[in-house]
């Protein structure tokens, strides 16, 4: 599904962030991680935080510069910390996902360093810039958190446009007859124990009916309520 998409971490400082990014990708079904000139090569802290995504780390090509990491790509997206830092074609996350899921281009998504994000020359190597709409008063997204959001949006869109199995409606097995029988039972029992005034039975019953309909009971729950009422009935006969 995502074989044509690689995530490229550019000049990352902390190996821990590389590990967390690998884990974030893998949870969303993305597997192609590329590193450009990391300040420190992935180490034990990266592997620890990858938490089972160390296969992505081990397979990640390490490039000396950005050019080499995107040489064979035909569509390059740059994650930009600020909206419209350069006057450049912009996509929002939804537009990005829609584009990437229908293209057969080889795609690179670039994430800049923790401290300063992508530099202007790096941003200028991109076809589009994408900005994650964080709170302007605190926009300090962690690198792995940004990777997690982008990977999630891709997966979320893929699941929405893909064929997803429908969950069957549990309420569908309860007929109107079942509900009427249950309400009759409530009426009989609650009249016997004088919760319902036989002169004005409808009000309490109507309130119960509204509550039970709203709950969309399943057949087992109908059975449970009958058995509770039966226990009360028996008590009344003692």
Residue closer to its own copies (CB basis): 71 or 238: 238
Task: Write the interaction track for its own copies spanning residues 113-152; mark x where CB under 8 A is met and - where it is not.
Answer: -------------------xxxx-xxxxxx-xx--xx--x
Binding its own copies (rule: CB under 8 A), the pick from 6, 26, 131, 185 is 26
Closest distance of CB 28 from its own copies, Å: 6
Closest distance of CB 66 from its own copies, Å: 24
Binding its own copies (rule: CB under 8 A), the pick from 193, 201, 202, 219 is 193
3-state secondary structure the chain: CCCCEEEEEECCCCHHHHHHHHHHHHHCCCCEEEEECCCCCCCHHHHHHHCCCHHHHHHCCEECCHHHHHCCCCEEEEEECCCCCCCCCEECHHHHHHHHHHCCCCEEEEECECCCECCHHHHCCCCEEEECCCCCCCCCCCHHHHHHHHHHHHHHHHHHHCCCCCCCCHHHHCCHHHHHHHHHHHHHHHHHCCCCCCCCCHHHHHHHHHHHHHCCCCHHHHHHHHHHHHHHHHHHHC
Stretch that binds its own copies, among 20-28, 64-72, 74-82, 177-185 (CB under 8 A): 20-28
- Rule CB under 8 A: say whether 216 interacts with its own copies: yes
Q: Which residues bind its own copies (CB under 8 A)?
A: 20, 23-24, 26-29, 51-53, 87, 90, 93, 132-135, 137-142, 144-145, 148-149, 152, 155-156, 159, 167, 170, 190, 193-195, 204, 207-208, 211-212, 214-217, 220-221, 224, 227-228, 231-232, 235-236, 238
């Amino acid at each position: 599904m995502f074989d044509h998409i690689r995530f490229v971490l550019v000049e990352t400082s902390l190996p821990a962030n590389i590990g967390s990014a690998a884990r974030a990708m893998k949870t969303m079904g993305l597997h192609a991680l590329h590193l450009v000139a990391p300040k420190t090569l992935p180490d034990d802290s990266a592997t620890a935080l990858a938490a089972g995504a160390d296969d992505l780390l081990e397979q990640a090509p390490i490039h000396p510069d950005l050019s080499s990491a995107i040489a064979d790509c035909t569509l390059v997206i740059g994650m930009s910390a600020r909206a419209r830092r350069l006057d450049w074609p912009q996509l929002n996350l939804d537009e990005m996902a829609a584009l990437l899921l229908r293209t057969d281009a080889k795609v690179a998504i670039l994430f800049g360093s923790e401290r300063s994000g992508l530099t202007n020359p790096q941003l200028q190597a991109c076809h589009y810039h994408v900005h994650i709409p964080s709170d302007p008063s605190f926009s300090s997204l962690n690198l792995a958190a940004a990777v997690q959001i982008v990977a999630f949006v891709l997966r979320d869109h893929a699941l929405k446009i893909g064929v997803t199995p429908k969950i069957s409606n549990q309420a569908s097995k309860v007929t109107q007859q079942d509900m009427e029988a249950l309400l009759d039972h409530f009426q009989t029992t609650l009249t016997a124990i004088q919760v319902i005034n036989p002169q004005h039975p409808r009000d309490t019953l109507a309130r119960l009916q509204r509550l039970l309909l709203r709950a969309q009971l399943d057949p087992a729950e109908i059975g449970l309520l009958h058995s509770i009422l039966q226990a009360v009935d028996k008590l009344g006969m003692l």
